[in-house]
């Protein structure tokens, strides 16, 4: 249950960004990339962001979460690409495997551990409403 | 920073606004450099509540001290200092982190603990995480190795219920295997599940109370 602390991190970095780079309207959507190795409930993250952003300029903005598949690099055989996923009956979750799909030795994670804001959907403020 | 206008009313702005987990990696890297600078090898000990993390650390410390290595421990708990007291009673330099309801240690808290810890007095530092098989997986601390401890008394299905932490941890101790028959658990089934999610990882059966398997565990951790 660390969704609140990570939602606070997302919110804080975005508010910092907006202070330095004002956008021409109201932020309606916040596009987030979440790696599939991250152990995080999407529902709880959205809920936490909604609660924590209340009263800020991001109040009412929706988190739109895109899952990023795990990619690995093998220092032994040079493989670089998608990780193999384990799908077992009854586990109800595909598990990314961090052994090299080619040679089974330990692989390094290239992507799949991120939790990053990558875009904003901004609704333009009508001209007559601008001061 | 690209700016693309989708319609008259909506702007889509794309770019990099910061990765909150990347910040954790940076803090962990600072801890790693600090520990390396002091010549300290650190192990992040994660695992379930009551799996025997503290007892196993004390047992490993005894065996490492026989090899003339100096060992210390940081106890991470939501509240209380019971584990800290156990480490002190075992003669280890120790420090308590209370997270105040946070379900995992993070690199920031550990960084502050390392400022207060007598690092010149130790060669090996065990950092005992909060009893939790979910959240600690997302928070690297800057240690050399991660270890997950579970015990047979938690049931045969621990890997299946928490697969991601096992997929990301290369050394696992299954503790209390002397009790397996009493709780009707086959430790080999836990080992088989672990091999599925981490084909290159090492899993060791241990009994912290009597030291069984602990030399093998130390070997898996690179000692």
B134 close contact with A: CB closer than 8 A? yes
| pLDDT value of residue A1 | 67
**pLDDT of A125:** 77
User: Percentage of chain A with pLDDT > 70?
Assistant: 95
A-facing residues of B in 152-171 (CB < 8 A) are 160, 163-165, 167-168, 170
According to the CATH classification, is domain B19-220 in 3.40.50.300? yes
Q: How far apart are CA A49 and CA A27, in angstroms?
A: 13
Residue B146, CA distances (Å) to A85, B9, B42, B123, B128 in order: 22, 50, 9, 17, 10
- pLDDT single digits (tens) A85-107: 999 998 888 999 999 999 999 99
Q: Write out pLDDT tens, residues A63-80.
A: 999 999 999 999 999 999
- With 80 as the cut, is the pLDDT of residue A127 above it? no
Alpha helices in A21-121 (DSSP H): 42-53
State whether A9 and B138 contact (CB < 8 Å): no
CA distance B100 to B106: 13
CATH architecture for the domain at A3-124: 2-Layer Sandwich (3.30)
State both tokens at B4: 């693309």
Interatomic CA distance for residues B191 and B48, integer angstroms: 16
Could B17 and A23 be called an inter-chain contact, meaning their C-beta atoms sit closer than 8 Å?
A: no
Instruction: Identify whether the C-beta of residue A94 lies closer than 8 Å to the C-beta of residue A87.
Output: yes
CB–CB of A114 and B163 under 8 A? no
Closest approach of chain A CAs to the CA of B134, in angstroms? 7
Smallest Cβ–Cβ distance between A86 and the set B18, B103, B197 belongs to B197
Task: Tell me the C-alpha distance between B109 and B103, whole Å.
Answer: 13
């Amino acid at each position: 249950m660390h969704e609140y602390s990570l939602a606070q991190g997302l919110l804080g970095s975005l508010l910092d960004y907006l202070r330095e780079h004002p956008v021409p309207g109201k932020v309606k959507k916040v596009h987030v990339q979440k790696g599939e190795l991250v152990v995080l409930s999407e529902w709880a993250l959205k809920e936490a962001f909604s609660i924590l952003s209340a009263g800020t300029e991001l109040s009412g903005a929706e988190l739109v979460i895109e899952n990023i598949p795990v990619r690995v690099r093998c220092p032994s055989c040079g493989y670089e690409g998608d990780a193999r996923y384990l799908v077992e009956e009854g586990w109800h979750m595909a598990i990314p495997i961090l052994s090299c799909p080619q040679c089974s030795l330990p692989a390094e994670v290239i992507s799949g551990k991120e939790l990053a804001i990558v875009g904003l959907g901004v609704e333009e403020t009508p001209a007559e409403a601008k001061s | 920073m690209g700016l693309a206008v989708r319609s008259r009313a909506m702007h889509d702005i794309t770019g990099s606004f910061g990765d909150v987990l990347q910040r954790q990696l940076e803090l962990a890297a600072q801890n790693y450099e600090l520990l390396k600078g002091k010549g300290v090898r650190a192990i992040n000990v994660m695992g379930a509540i009551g799996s025997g993390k503290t007892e196993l650390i004390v047992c490993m410390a005894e065996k490492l001290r026989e090899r003339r290595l100096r060992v210390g421990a940081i106890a991470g708990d939501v509240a209380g200092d019971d584990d800290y007291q156990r480490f002190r009673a075992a003669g280890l330099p120790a420090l308590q982190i209370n997270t105040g309801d946070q379900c995992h240690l993070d690199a920031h808290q550990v960084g502050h603990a390392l400022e207060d810890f007598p690092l010149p007095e130790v060669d090996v530092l065990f950092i005992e995480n909060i009893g939790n098989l979910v959240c600690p997986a997302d928070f690297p601390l800057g240690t050399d190795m991660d270890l997950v401890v579970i015990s047979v008394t938690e049931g045969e299905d621990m890997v299946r219920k928490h697969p991601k932490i096992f997929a990301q941890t290369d050394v696992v101790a299954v503790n209390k295997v002397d009790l397996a028959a009493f709780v009707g658990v086959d430790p080999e089934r836990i080992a088989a599940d672990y091999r599925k999610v981490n084909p290159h990882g090492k899993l060791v059966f241990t009994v912290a109370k009597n030291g069984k398997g602990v030399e093998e565990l130390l070997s898996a951790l690179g000692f």
